[in-house]
Amino acid sequence: MSSDSFLDRSTNNSRADPAPFGDFETTVARLEDELEQRELVLVTTVDHAANAAEVGEQLPPTTLFLFGNPEVGTPLMQASRSVGIDLPQKFLLWEDDGEVFVTYNDPQFLADRHDLEGVDEQLERITGTLEELATAITRAE
């Protein structure tokens, strides 16, 4: 799948922002630094390319980061426990033809998917944080 076809299809549920100012490793390092600076909990990373290599397959660099802030996520789960399937928040960093992208779910998609009510403040905070993170790791130095 080319990045263009993903971008065309993803506008309602997720964002795919290009990271034109760094290679994959630089973008990963930027994200790790930003998470630490913002005191967000990095729960785990999943290196899909390394996992593919373990079974003899090839995949361009593709790494999933799961991170969050229980202070913000817990009220979402109190409103609807099913949102726990989509928490903590996720960023997928992936490379396509030498270009790096960051993809993440739109919090409004999660609100709609799980019928979240009474957590607008938290959703706005999450949206702002995700947008700030994406901007920070895709900016020019």
The model's pTM is 0.88
* Parallel/antiparallel/unpaired status of strands 99-105 and 62-68: unpaired
pLDDT greater at residue 19 or residue 89: 89
Domains of the chain from N-terminus onward: 3-138 (3.30.310.70)
Q: Compute φ and ψ for 49, nearest 5 degrees.
A: -65, -40
Tell me the CA end-to-end span of the chain in Å, nearest whole number. Answer: 30
Reported confidence tier of residue 4, pLDDT bands at 50, 70, 90: very low
Reported confidence tier of residue 3, pLDDT bands at 50, 70, 90: very low
Rounded mean pLDDT of 27-51?
A: 97
pLDDT greater at residue 117 or residue 19: 117
| Cα of 93 vs its chain's centroid, Å | 8
d(CA 29, CA 45): 13
Q: Mind listing the pLDDT tens digit for each residue in 75-103?
A: 999 999 999 999 999 999 999 998 999 99
d(CA 39, CA 45): 16
Per-residue confidence (pLDDT) for residue 18, from 0 to 100: 74
Tokens of 138: 């895709």
* pLDDT over 70 (residue 6): no
Per-residue confidence (pLDDT) for residue 85, from 0 to 100: 97
Determine how many CB atoms are found less than 10 A away from the CB of residue 49. Answer: 17
Q: What is the DSSP string of 35-70?
A: HHHTT-EEEEEEEHHHHHHHTT----SEEEEEEE-H
Task: Judge whether 130 and 40 are in contact, CB under 8 Å.
Answer: no
